[in-house]
Amino acid sequence: MMTKFEIYIMELSHYFFTGHLEDDEKILFVAHRHFFILFKDSVKTFFLGIILPIILFVFFPKLILFCGAWVVVGMLGMFYHFVDWYFDAWIVTNIGIIDIERNGLFDKQSKRVEYEMIDGIEYKITGFWPTVFSFGNLAIDTMGTNMSLLLKDAANPKKLEKTIVAFQEKYVSDKSFSDYNSLKTMLASMLAYHSKHGMIDDPRSTKSGNKVKQK
């Protein structure tokens, strides 16, 4: 059961990441870097860009315009850190993984790997803080190409690895069943066509003929 916050995050993800999807593709969830990374990257900006000018204003109220402009710049810096964190993510869909990499506000690229092309998934947690807060690097290798996906500082990479493997197994199983039914339908159509045009004996007529001969 998803919490209201998780539902809100999913709705937000559908709004921002829908443009990366193919037809009939659905977002299952979005994997981000751990929130600790956002905190670590933005704490310095928060102190220097927001707390410091507020302290300066308390002691020097006449500098209100200067301190106000300073705070605005600090808030823009916080916004930059959030955008860089939020949009550097993996979109996990019913078809595969879409890796979005963002460097700044105007530089981004994406790579796509479908589940049937995944050759292996591995994660690595090293260091004190990653061990304490359970985050690390998660990598996906692909078959037949040199392309690989890497999500640095992923939140709970062990759980994420198991989730992706489960989605991959379901996708492969559903696709195999669909391919089997398609092949079965195609063979039945071919047999019906050849039987209709006399290229092969109709199994039903052959069976009836055998019964007449036996009489």
In the chain (215 residues long), the average pLDDT of successive 10-residue segments reads: 62 76 85 90 93 94 93 94 88 91 73 88 92 93 81 91 90 68 57 58 51 47
Q: Which of 75, 89, 73, 92 is nearest to 29 (CA)?
A: 92
155 and 66, same structural domain?
yes
- Nearest Cα residue to 88 out of 140, 129, 38, 47: 38
pLDDT the model gives residue 146:
74
Same-domain pairing of 104 and 194 = no
27 located within any domain: yes
Based on the fold, state whether residues 35 and 92 are members of the same structural domain: yes
Residue 170 lies in a domain: no
Token duo for residue 155: 């939140």
Let me know if residue 136 belongs to a domain. yes
Are 32 and 92 found together in one domain? yes
Q: Are residues 142 and 203 in the same domain?
A: no
Q: Any bridge partners for residue 153, and if so which?
A: none
Residues 13 and 98 in one domain: yes
The verdict on residue 45 lying in a domain is: yes
Q: What is the DSSP letter of 27?
A: E
Instruction: Tell whether 10 is covered by a domain.
Output: yes
Q: Which domain holds residue 64?
A: 4-164
Structural Rg of the chain based on CA atoms: 29
**If you write DSSP's letter for every residue of 101-163 in order, what string do you get?**
EE-SSS-EEEEEEEGGGEEEEEEE--SHHHHHHTEEEEEEEESSSS-EEEEEEEESHHHHHHH
CB-hemisphere CA count at 13 Å for 154?
24
Note whether 143 and 179 are same-domain residues: no
Q: According to the model, what pLDDT value does residue 78 have?
A: 93
Task: Establish if 169 belongs to a structural domain.
Answer: no
Q: What pLDDT, on the 0 to 100 scale, is given for residue 213?
A: 47
Residue 177 near residue 164, CB atoms below 8 Å? no
Residue 28 lies in a domain: yes
Residue 62 sits in the same domain as residue 126: yes
126 inside domain: yes
Query: What ranges make up the beta strands (E) of the chain?
Result: 27-32, 89-93, 96-102, 108-114, 118-124, 135-142, 148-155
Shared domain check, 156 and 186 = no
Same domain, 187 and 98: no
Clarify whether residues 81 and 130 are in a common domain: yes
> According to the model, what pLDDT value does residue 142 have?
86
Contact 143, 168 (CB under 8 A): no
Number of domains in the chain: 2
